[in-house]
Amino acid sequence: MDGPLFFDNSKSISVSYIVMIDLHAHTLFSDGVLLPSELVRRAQVKGYRGLAITDHVDMSNIDFVIPRIVNAVKDLSAHSDIKIAAGAEITHVPPALIGKTVEKARALGAEIVIVHGETLAEPVIPGTNAAGIEAGADILSHPGLISIDDARKAAIRGVALEITSRKGHSLSNGHVAKTALKAGAGLVINTDFHAPEDFITKGFALNILLGAGLELKEAGDALVNSEKLINKYR
């Protein structure tokens, strides 16, 4: 159970005000282990108030995956008290093709569009961060050692940069946070959910943000940004 968090031996903050939103989650439509219905149910039980289903897509499966997520979200939303958004994570697509893939994802009904950024944990093609930002994705996930120029473009285009709880991808959280603050880019925190153990608590989410070097207000802004994004569509 989450309670006050203590740090600096003198400051504390209640986490009761935090609305838990996860805008980056995978099902068995890509490399997750759960059906959409079980993912939503487990999120609800864990206290999440919003969830985006964002399975991996490229040109080979986008026509198959997104319509099925859209249909699942429509049905599940009628029987759930949490906000659910249909989405997609455009993954390892060559930078020159990212723009039209983002457009196609939106045309197929994806509400939250993520571009899989240049994480340190995978051999993503250089230029992917810039292409995802230029395409106007909602979120650039785990963007690795993102440049200040790309972060400034993200700020201008309203693309949120992701702080992640996922092992491997989280190696660059500190750099992402520092660069986003310098550039004025928005931040969000996500789990990159693949399996039930990936869900995190309110307190752990806040600690990840603080551990990335954010101050309390900056961490709070990142949590609010996720809520604003899902409210944009739901």
| CB 137, CB 105: distance < 8 Å | no
Is the pLDDT score of 90 beyond 70?
yes
Sign of CA dihedral 144, 65, 225, 3: negative
Question: Taking the mean position of all CA atoms in its chain, how far away is CA 125?
Answer: 20
- The number of beta carbons lying within 10 Å of the beta carbon of residue 11 is 10
The pLDDT value recorded for residue 43 is 97
User: Per-residue pLDDT tens for 32-49?
Assistant: 999 999 999 999 999 999
Place of tokens 């899989």: 116
3-class SS of residue 207: helix
| CA gap 232, 126 in Å, rounded | 30
Two tokens, residue 119: 């994480």
Which amino acid is it at 187?
Answer: L
pLDDT of residue 19: 86
pLDDT in tens, 161-196: 999 999 999 999 999 999 999 999 999 999 999 999
Is CATH 3.20.20.140 correct for 18-233? Answer: yes
- Of the chain, the percentage scoring pLDDT greater than 90 comes to 90
pLDDT at 14 exceeding the cut of 80: no
Q: What is the pTM of this model?
A: 0.93
Tokens of 230: 């899902």
Q: Give the pLDDT confidence score for residue 233 in this predicted structure.
A: 78
Per-domain residue ranges of the chain: 18-233
- The letter for the amino acid at 54 is T
How many residues are recorded in the chain? Answer: 234
Query: pLDDT for 149-160, tens place per residue?
Result: 999 999 999 999
CB atoms inside a 10 Å sphere around CB 25: 27
Could you tell me if 4 and 13 are in contact, meaning their C-beta atoms sit under 8 angstroms apart? Answer: yes
